[in-house]
């Protein structure tokens, strides 16, 4: 699990602790002195009530996790996940009736804070971060947080809780800095750090902090682009003398030095699944926020996810639901393809033509899956409708009956491990379906795009159709050049092979070569991720049901962030394709194919300034620690590549630099797409 999965739970912790604290605030509560005889160190019934409430919730929900709290000490501090709690940071403010206090909740993994929240229940403000992004939610607004630029100490606003808490030498050092800044203010406790993350101040300097004073603030400040360390520059999670500083971030007029880098159109990924329901299966791990955050980190500035029609639902209502899901969350631009599962007369006659007019100019149909499969008659009806309204149809070409037959045969033989997912849907079933779709397209005289082509068999069908002059297009994906069926064997055929289960499945090295032939010969127009992420845990790839048969392993893998690096690394860096082909396959052709040209897909006057600065010499090893989505693994773990995105620019604004997210949810907008020039005339 990644930290992001805990965010809903942390919200609940904050709510519960707030409810425990607020009845005491601005009352005549009793105050104890924890440091009797020394400097006054107050603790109240409110601190204790809040910590006890949070501890109980954590123990109930995550019994294997450790807890370290300010008031009740450490319980399993060596556990992998440990919660670090400070029920009231700023108790001196609290007992004075001042609202400059907050509840600090940190989740650490192997000692490193991976998620933090500061909650101020009286104001109703929540500041949270996971080291990659930071967010503010309050009664009047909700937004991403970014530290502000600060050019010099002379222009800085400095905070400390009180210089009187410092010893003589530390205070002298503090005063030296204080003398240089524009303004210094005292008495912020955790609020000062959050104001730094939110871009209102520039510097916080303190001493003698405990781990619980700072752990939650580290991912918040880092997520907002700031830096927090000890005075010596060491990691801050153990507390001590702490300095937090807003890193310099320049504004819109920033000059970017791209020497040594390639300046390419931002990536367009025209095959992505985000927040798509799975008919009773595990939830997809990425929504529009985390999925598009991963996209920009990988150099992609536009994604085209799917709005899927559950059988029986009206399409218009479905599209509205997806809009609600995406609204205000996306870090990059997006449009929607429509998945048609119920081609009723009203869908074909009214809804689809109207939706095409509104900018949803492509559909996807499935030739497999109980909940989505269309029979031949239905395929023909959708194709004919697409011809009439000039939509482009994407086809998932795998034969339903053959797969069902193979699946049952394998299950009867006790072959249920994830590896047999691939055996149940060999290339033959993909070839047969591809040919059938091509035949239907010929009969109805409509262009089609066969998506996620896995190997030679289907590729040859597309090439055959193209050689006959048909408008049959092809898409392939990273998994078909970087993975093989052997990956699904896991460790000795165990469930870890589920991490690679996707459809069509990865094949073998000969198939990978066939895919390269298709890419170099122009059989494939687009290289998409087919990002369809599920967690590698009991709530995803290893669900109890998935253990009973490969057919219940959720189908799909993450890849939106790694798509461009995989194609550059295995393609351009290894001399298989040139950089112009790379740009066509990852950006320009997607724009042309799906009605986004001449707005997206090129760097030229009149186009959006969507740009990726690419370092062709950068060597990286793809690994989960670099990823920005919510999924907890990457199927490309350990793949060494040369070539990496250094900066992603969306509509002129740098949104990601060196893996650091500069953009915010809501930067991305819905794209109403035009008719594809590759659809019916
Ligand atoms: N088809 C897709 O396009 N994505 C994931 C799974 C599938 O079958
Ligand atoms: Zn598909
Ligand atoms: Zn897909």
Q: 327 labelled as ligand-binding?
A: no
Q: Whole-number mean pLDDT of the chain?
A: 93
Residue pLDDT, tens place only, 572-625 = 999 999 999 999 999 999 999 999 999 999 999 889 999 999 999 999 999 999
Confidence of residue 132 (pLDDT cuts 50, 70, 90): confident
Pocket of ligand 1 from Cβ distances under 6 Å: 273, 396, 452, 502-503, 530, 532, 555-556
Identify whether the C-beta of residue 668 lies closer than 8 Å to the C-beta of residue 292: yes
What is the pLDDT averaged over residues 147-174?
87
Other CB atoms within 10 Å distance of the CB of residue 503: 21
What is the pLDDT averaged over residues 532-550?
97
Residue pLDDT, tens place only, 20-35 = 999 989 887 666 766 6
Radius of gyration of the chain (CA): 27
My answer on whether 192 and 283 are in the same domain is: no
Shortest-distance atom of ligand 1 to CA 368: 8
Q: CB-based contacts of 677: which residues, under 8 Å, 6+ apart?
A: 592, 595, 597
Shortest-distance atom of ligand 1 to CA 502: 6
pLDDT, residue 7, reads 84
My answer on whether 286 and 153 are in the same domain is: no
My answer on whether 136 and 217 are in the same domain is: yes
In a domain, 603, yes or no: yes
CATH of the domain at 500: 3.20.20.140
My answer on whether 321 and 353 are in the same domain is: yes
Strands 102-109 and 112-120, sheet pairing: antiparallel
Confidence of residue 679 (pLDDT cuts 50, 70, 90): very high
In a domain, 1, yes or no: yes
Q: CB-based contacts of 336: which residues, under 8 Å, 6+ apart?
A: 304, 305, 306, 307, 319, 322, 360
In DSSP terms, 393 is beta-bridged to 363, 448
pLDDT, residue 211, reads 92
Residue 42 has pLDDT above 90, yes or no: no
Confidence of residue 551 (pLDDT cuts 50, 70, 90): very high
Residue 2 has pLDDT above 60, yes or no: no
What's the 334 CA to ligand 3 centre distance in angstroms? 16
pLDDT, residue 186, reads 94
pLDDT, residue 34, reads 64
My answer on whether 142 and 204 are in the same domain is: yes
pLDDT, residue 253, reads 47
* Domain stops at, among 255, 272, 295: 255
My answer on whether 249 and 280 are in the same domain is: no
* Residue ranges making up the domain that contains 222: 1-255
My answer on whether 206 and 268 are in the same domain is: no
What's the 630 CA to ligand 3 centre distance in angstroms? 18
CA–CA separation, 636 and 362 (whole Å): 30
Who wins on pLDDT, 663 or 301? 301
Closest listed ligand to the CA of 556 = 1
| Atom 1 of ligand 1: nearest residue by CA position | 503
What is the pLDDT averaged over residues 555-566?
98
pLDDT, residue 33, reads 64
pLDDT, residue 148, reads 84
Q: 67 labelled as ligand-binding?
A: no
Q: What is the DSSP string of 424-485?
A: HS-HHHHHHHHHHHHHHHHHHT--EEE-S--SHHHHHHHHHHHHTT--EEEEE-THHHH--G
In DSSP terms, 227 is beta-bridged to 245
In a domain, 493, yes or no: yes
In a domain, 457, yes or no: yes
Q: 70 labelled as ligand-binding?
A: yes
pLDDT, residue 450, reads 98
In a domain, 230, yes or no: yes
My answer on whether 230 and 295 are in the same domain is: no
| Atom 8 of ligand 1: nearest residue by CA position | 503
In a domain, 527, yes or no: yes
pLDDT, residue 149, reads 80
Judged by average pLDDT, the poorest of 37-41, 390-394, 617-621 is 37-41
Residue 61 has pLDDT above 50, yes or no: yes
Q: 213 labelled as ligand-binding?
A: yes
Other CB atoms within 10 Å distance of the CB of residue 19: 13
pLDDT, residue 40, reads 62
pLDDT, residue 252, reads 35
* Domain stops at, among 206, 226, 255: 255
SS3 letters for 522-540?
CCEEEECCCECCCCCCCCC
What is the pLDDT averaged over residues 59-65?
94
Shortest-distance atom of ligand 1 to CA 271: 3
Q: Which of 101, 143, 136, 141 is nearest to 121 (CA)?
A: 101
My answer on whether 243 and 283 are in the same domain is: no
Other CB atoms within 10 Å distance of the CB of residue 396: 23
Judged by average pLDDT, the poorest of 9-13, 109-113, 228-232 is 228-232
CATH of the domain at 211: 3.30.540.10
pLDDT, residue 3, reads 44
pLDDT, residue 4, reads 46
Q: 661 labelled as ligand-binding?
A: no
Q: Which of 176, 239, 182 is nearest to 212 (CA)?
A: 239
> What three-state secondary structure class fits 156?
coil
My answer on whether 239 and 279 are in the same domain is: no
pLDDT, residue 1, reads 42
CA–CA separation, 339 and 271 (whole Å): 12
What is the pLDDT averaged over residues 56-74?
94
In a domain, 464, yes or no: yes
What's the 396 CA to ligand 1 centre distance in angstroms? 7
> What three-state secondary structure class fits 585?
helix
* Domain stops at, among 210, 236, 255: 255
Confidence of residue 251 (pLDDT cuts 50, 70, 90): very low
Shortest-distance atom of ligand 1 to CA 556: 5
What's the 504 CA to ligand 2 centre distance in angstroms? 8
Judged by average pLDDT, the poorest of 43-52, 194-203, 398-407, 570-579 is 43-52
Identify whether the C-beta of residue 269 lies closer than 8 Å to the C-beta of residue 601: no
Ligand 1 pocket test, pick from 367, 452, 635 with the greatest ligand atom count within 8 Å of Cβ, gives 452
pLDDT, residue 30, reads 67
Residue pLDDT, tens place only, 481-502 = 999 999 999 999 999 999 999 9
My answer on whether 329 and 200 are in the same domain is: no
What's the 436 CA to ligand 2 centre distance in angstroms? 16
Burial 95-110 (b: 16+ CB within 10 A, else e): beeebbbbbbbbbbbe
My answer on whether 86 and 182 are in the same domain is: yes
Identify whether the C-beta of residue 457 lies closer than 8 Å to the C-beta of residue 397: no
In the chain the first and final C-alpha atoms are separated, in Å, by 48
Ligand 1 pocket test, pick from 530, 531, 550, 631 with the greatest ligand atom count within 8 Å of Cβ, gives 530
In a domain, 679, yes or no: no
- The count of domains in the chain is 2
pLDDT, residue 176, reads 87
pLDDT, residue 16, reads 95
């Amino acid at each position: 699990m990644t930290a992001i999965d805990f965010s809903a739970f942390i919200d609940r912790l904050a709510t519960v602790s707030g409810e425990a604290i607020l009845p005491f605030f601005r009352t005549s509560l009793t105050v104890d002195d924890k440091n009797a005889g020394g400097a006054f160190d107050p603790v109240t019934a409110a601190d204790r009530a809040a910590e006890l409430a949070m501890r109980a919730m954590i123990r109930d929900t995550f019994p294997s996790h450790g807890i370290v709290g300010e008031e009740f000490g450490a319980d399993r501090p060596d556990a992998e996940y440990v919660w670090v709690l400070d029920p009231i940071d700023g108790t001196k403010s609290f007992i004075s009736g001042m609202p400059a206090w907050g509840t600090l909740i940190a989740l650490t993994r192997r000692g490193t804070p991976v998620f933090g929240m500061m909650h101020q229940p009286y104001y109703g403000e929540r500041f949270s971060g996971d080291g990659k992004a930071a967010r503010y939610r309050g009664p009047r607004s909700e937004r991403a947080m970014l530290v502000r630029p600060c050019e010099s100490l002379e222009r800085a606003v400095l905070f400390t809780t009180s210089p009187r808490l410092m010893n003589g030498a530390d205070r002298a050092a503090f005063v030296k800095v204080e003398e240089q800044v524009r303004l210094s203010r005292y008495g912020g406790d955790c609020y000062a750090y959050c104001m730094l993350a939110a871009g209102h101040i520039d510097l916080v300097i303190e001493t003698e902090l405990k781990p619980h004073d700072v752990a939650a603030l580290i991912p918040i400040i880092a997520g907002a682009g700031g830096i927090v360390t000890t005075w010596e520059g060491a990691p801050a999670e153990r507390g001590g003398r702490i300095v937090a500083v807003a890193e310099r971030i320049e504004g819109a007029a920033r000059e970017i030095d791209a020497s040594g880098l390639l300046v390419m159109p931002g990536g367009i990924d025209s095959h992505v699944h985000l927040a798509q329901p799975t008919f009773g299966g595990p939830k997809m791990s990425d929504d529009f926020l985390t999925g598009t955050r991963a996209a920009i980190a990988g150099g992609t500035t536009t994604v085209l996810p799917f709005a899927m029609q559950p059988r029986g639902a009206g399409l218009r209502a479905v599209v509205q639901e997806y809009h609600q899901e995406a609204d205000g969350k996306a870090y990059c631009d997006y449009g929607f393809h429509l998945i048609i599962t119920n081609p009723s007369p009203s869908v074909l006659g009214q809804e689809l033509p109207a939706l095409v007019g509104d900018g949803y100019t492509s559909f996807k149909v499935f030739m497999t899956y109980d909940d989505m499969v269309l029979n031949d008659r239905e395929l023909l009806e959708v194709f004919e409708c697409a011809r009439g309204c000039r939509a482009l149809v994407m086809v998932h070409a795998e034969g339903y009956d053959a797969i069902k037959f193979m699946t049952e045969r394998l299950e009867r033989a006790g072959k249920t491990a994830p590896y047999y997912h691939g055996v149940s849907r060999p290339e033959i079933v993909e070839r047969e379906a591809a040919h059938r779709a091509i035949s239907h397209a010929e009969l109805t005289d409509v262009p089609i795009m066969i998506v996620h082509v896995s190997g030679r068999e289907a590729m040859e069908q597309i090439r055959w159709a193209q050689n006959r002059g048909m408008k049959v297009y092809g898409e392939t994906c990273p998994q078909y050049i970087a993975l093989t069926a052997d990956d699904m064997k896991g460790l000795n055929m165990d469930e870890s092979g589920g991490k690679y289960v996707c459809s069509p499945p990865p094949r073998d090295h000969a198939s990978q070569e066939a895919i390269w032939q298709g890419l170099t010969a122009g059989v494939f127009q687009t290289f998409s991720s087919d990002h369809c992420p599920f967690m590698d845990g009991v709530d995803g790839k290893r669900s109890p049901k998935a253990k009973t048969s490969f057919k219940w392993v959720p189908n799909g893998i993450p890849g939106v962030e790694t798509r461009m690096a995989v194609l550059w690394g295995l393609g351009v860096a290894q001399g298989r394709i040139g950089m112009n082909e790379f740009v066509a396959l990852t950006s320009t052709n997607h724009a042309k194919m799906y009605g986004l040209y001449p707005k997206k897909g090129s760097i030229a006057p009149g186009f959006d300034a969507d740009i990726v600065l690419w370092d062709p010499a950068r060597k990286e090893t793809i690994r989960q620690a670099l990823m920005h989505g919510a999924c907890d693994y990457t199927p490309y773990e350990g793949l060494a590549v040369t070539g990496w995105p250094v900066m992603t620019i969306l509509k002129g604004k740098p949104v990601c630099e060196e893996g650091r997210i500069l953009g915010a949810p809501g930067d991305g907008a819905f794209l109403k797409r035009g008719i594809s020039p590759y659809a019916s005339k």
